[in-house]
Amino acid sequence: MLPGLARRLASLVYDGLLLTALLLVTTFIFIALFGDATHAPLRYWLQACLYLVAATYLLWCWLHGGQTLAMQTWRIRLVDDKTQTVSVGRALQRYLLASLGLMFFGAGFLWAVFDREGLFLHDRLLGTRLVLVSRQR
């Protein structure tokens, strides 16, 4: 069963808050080690570092149980249509496509409003989906 759009967006907001905290700590450590990062090339190294830290968090969670902390809270799991677990390659592709969709003013996520099954664009393209997890008793 697919979770509703409101539940998925709430999970996205929650993950956004968690990632913001993680990226703030990463930025603090980077600046403590390397100093001012407002000018090139340090600015680009910091941006790459932040992108990789976000990728590490999301990929680790998706590959170890299919759920980030926010997805656990909202009882959502990422699955592949065929195997129910997401491969490393598919998870990496999902991260890259979701990043592109976010960079284009959230168009990849807005796609879910118009999709016949309510899938995000990156999930539609990759054959992955978010499913509702039943309550543990």
- pLDDT tens digits, one per residue of 55-85: 999 999 999 999 999 999 999 999 998 878 8
Classify residue 20 as exposed, middle or buried by CB count within 10 Å of its CB (0-12, 13-18, 19+): exposed
pLDDT at 2: 85
Give the total number of structural domains in the chain.
Answer: 1
pLDDT at 122: 96
Residue 131 sits at φ, ψ, to 5 deg, of -120, 155
pLDDT band at residue 136 using 50, 70 and 90 as cut-offs: confident
pLDDT band at residue 135 using 50, 70 and 90 as cut-offs: confident
pLDDT, averaged across the chain: 94
Residue 137 lies in a domain: no
Residue 84 lies in a domain: yes
Give the structural domain span for 74: 5-132
pLDDT at 41: 95
Residue 94 lies in a domain: yes
Residue 88 lies in a domain: yes
Residue 28 lies in a domain: yes
pLDDT band at residue 14 using 50, 70 and 90 as cut-offs: very high
